[in-house]
Amino acid sequence: MTINKIKGVVWDLDGTLLDSFTVFERIIADVVKDSGHKMPTRETILLNYHGSLEECIQKILGIDSATEVNDVIDIFLDKQEFHYGGDLQTHLFKDAVDLAQACAVQDIDQLLVTNRGNKNRGNASPSFIIAATTLSDCIKEIRAGDEVEFRKPDKRSMGDWLERHELTPEEVLIIGDQFVDAQLAINLGCRAVIVKRNGDVPHLDNLSQKDHKSIILVDSLEEVVINKS
């Protein structure tokens, strides 16, 4: 599948560039041992694995109390340092890295827009992950969830990136793995490639038939070729 006339690529992090779901499951398994919660099913995690960490924890573990959510997050942040230790490159999806590098060779501008925050995330922060891997040669700008006023799928989550790089929506491609990434593309008026990392993408059937036309579903990013011309 070849997509032409792309001058800017907007990447999602979790599940697209980073195999964070596998790590997330392992961290949750450690968290419930300490917090006393019941281990959620894989289906529950998949269904609610999007949005902020607070939202994920609340929905996945079925917590109503904000205080309890914060307590569980403290445990989560402590456990994650172990799971994100070592070579972070091993946590990246090769098909995504290869595609990002192919775009870099063509001088295609690349931006990371993620609802994952940088604050208190240590080795798991978006900025650290990019800086510590080969993605640092490809992705030059990051919009982390706790550093912006607006978050995905609001198109303002991208700030003034399009204007600064003199890009039109038609020249931009969103690459993600969740419904929120498709929504971002629709709100921006551009195309999106949504990779099915764990089977069917939850909530994607909520899109209208018109919106579906701008969304390209793939089983792997190996299928995708992006050309600047």
pLDDT, tens digit (0-9, with 9 covering 90-100), for 4-27? 999 999 999 999 999 988 899 999
Residue % of the chain over a pLDDT of 90? 79
Q: CA 165 to CA 53: how far, in whole Å?
A: 31
**pTM (two decimals):** 0.87
Please state the rounded mean pLDDT for residues 173-195. 96
pLDDT, tens digit (0-9, with 9 covering 90-100), for 32-86? 999 999 999 999 998 887 767 888 999 999 998 999 999 999 999 999 888 888 8
pLDDT at residue 60, rounded to an integer? 95
Q: What is the mean pLDDT of the chain?
A: 93
pLDDT at residue 7, rounded to an integer? 98
Q: Hey, what amino acid is at 169?
A: P
pLDDT at residue 86, rounded to an integer? 85
Contact 177, 199 (CB under 8 A): no
